[in-house]
A = this chain, B = another copy of it.
Amino acid sequence: MNKDLNIVPFVSVDNMMKIIGKLGIENMLKGIAEYVEEDFRRWQLFDKTPRVAAHSKEGVIELMPTSDGELYGFKYVNGHPKNMKEGLQTVTAFGVLSEVYTGYPILFTEMTILTALRTAATSVVAAKHLARKDSRCMALIGNGAQSEFQALAFKTLLGIEKLRLYDIDPVASEKFVDNMQSYGFDIVVCDSAREAATGADIITTCTADKLNATILTDDMVPSGVHINAIGGDCPGKTELQKELVLRSKLFVEYPPQTRIEGELQQLDDDYPVNELWQVIRDELAGRENDDEITLFDGVGFATEDFSALRYIRDQISRPGMSATYENLDMIADPDEPRDLFGMVRRSGAMSKAVA
């Protein structure tokens, strides 16, 4: 019996940055992409449900649970577009991995940074199967918190060298250029989404406004392009013109969730879609020729967080990584399991009471 089951490893924001420092961000993106792809291959094993969302005027708070029968994971994540103006993150997150057999948590971790990594890794996993093999230039529309992670993942795993940026706020693009200067990209900052899309092999949309926007219209996108649309990720939040969605070959993570949250919101409830896991398993064709427009309507699914949690658990268990987490006293663990009260009593809690 492991005597320390009451202790749960906790990866703080600071320690997540240390892990990135020790492993290298490119290696992490590669590693997480492998775990994400592995779990998409095991898709049918997973207990799947659309995320449980609490919507308010200002934003949304969501829980995203899933399980493969051996491990259980969930993420808490908020989405508050108005936060940015108040100096806060639009998206913050944390997550837990547990053992199904005992129900005990085995990892608690920050997931704001980790979500950025897993979202970028998932986009690349999709693009690997859906973008033209000779893709070298990517348009990045929306240069917020997710954009640099996308760029680096596409460079590391897919060989993207040229970036065409656009953001309604030029300060965001400047920040991007500053952050990416040492990574060897050829970067062009554009004055419009249309200009950014021109000549791109892949177009990534990652804007944050919570509304039905039309960031990308049908006439901006020539044949052969892969669209990586990840900003539309909750009810009432889309980025693409409906005609463009209809013209594309559409790939999604988990249809019941994407129909509520993705670009798919704009189409009929029974509009046919292709599931990414089937493409990854070679059960379904991805891109079939160099002319079609492929669209990954990514909203982010619980299995991707599960993959990221598994990855972090495996990394912090490696030799030399013990300084990358703390131990939290999270689980009450009396010597005799039925004697929870006795544990409290013997702690001296009862006698110290000031009534």
Encoded as 1 (CB less than 8 Å from any B CB) or 0, chain A from 86 to 112 comes to: 111110101010101111110000101
Indicate if A338 sits at the interface (CB-CB under 8 A): yes
Please determine whether A17 and B353 come into contact, CB atoms closer than 8 angstroms: no
**A80–B144 Cα gap in the complex (Å)?**
43
Encoded as 1 (CB less than 8 Å from any B CB) or 0, chain A from 326 to 355 comes to: 001111111011111111110111111111
Indicate if A214 sits at the interface (CB-CB under 8 A): no
**A143–B24 Cα gap in the complex (Å)?**
53
Residues of B with C-beta under 8 A to A27: 353, 355
| A329 partner, pick from B13, B25, B337, beta carbons under 8 A | B13
**A60–B102 Cα gap in the complex (Å)?**
9
Indicate if A289 sits at the interface (CB-CB under 8 A): no
Interface size class of A (residues with CB under 8 A): 35 or more
Residues of B with C-beta under 8 A to A129: none
Please determine whether A52 and B49 come into contact, CB atoms closer than 8 angstroms: yes
| A112 partner, pick from B25, B148, B340, beta carbons under 8 A | B340
Please determine whether B52 and A61 come into contact, CB atoms closer than 8 angstroms: no
Please determine whether B104 and A88 come into contact, CB atoms closer than 8 angstroms: yes
**A72–B53 Cα gap in the complex (Å)?**
11
Encoded as 1 (CB less than 8 Å from any B CB) or 0, chain A from 36 to 68 comes to: 000000000001010010101011110101010
Q: Give the number of times this chain occurs in the complex, counting copies.
A: 2
Residues of B with C-beta under 8 A to A49: 52
CB of A149, distance to nearest CB on chain B (Å)? 6
Indicate if A215 sits at the interface (CB-CB under 8 A): no
Residues of B with C-beta under 8 A to A145: 337-341
**A245–B310 Cα gap in the complex (Å)?**
45
| A110 partner, pick from B24, B116, B179, B332, beta carbons under 8 A | B332
Residues of B with C-beta under 8 A to A17: 343-344, 347-349
The segment from A4-12, A185-193, A233-241, A257-265 that touches chain B is A4-12
Residues of B with C-beta under 8 A to A67: 54, 56, 61
Please determine whether A87 and B175 come into contact, CB atoms closer than 8 angstroms: no
**A52–B340 Cα gap in the complex (Å)?**
26
Indicate if A279 sits at the interface (CB-CB under 8 A): no
**A329–B12 Cα gap in the complex (Å)?**
5
Enumerate chain A interface residues (CB-CB to B < 8 A): 1, 5-6, 10, 12-14, 16-18, 20-27, 47, 49, 52, 54, 56, 58-61, 63, 65, 67, 69, 72, 74, 76, 78-80, 83-84, 86-90, 92, 94, 96, 98, 100-105, 110, 112-113, 116, 143-149, 172, 175, 178-179, 328-334, 336-345, 347-355
A-B residue pairs in contact (CB < 8 Å), sample of 17: A1-B86, A20-B353, A21-B347, A21-B348, A21-B351, A25-B350, A27-B355, A56-B100, A78-B98, A78-B103, A80-B103, A83-B102, A88-B104, A89-B331, A145-B341, A175-B338, A178-B342
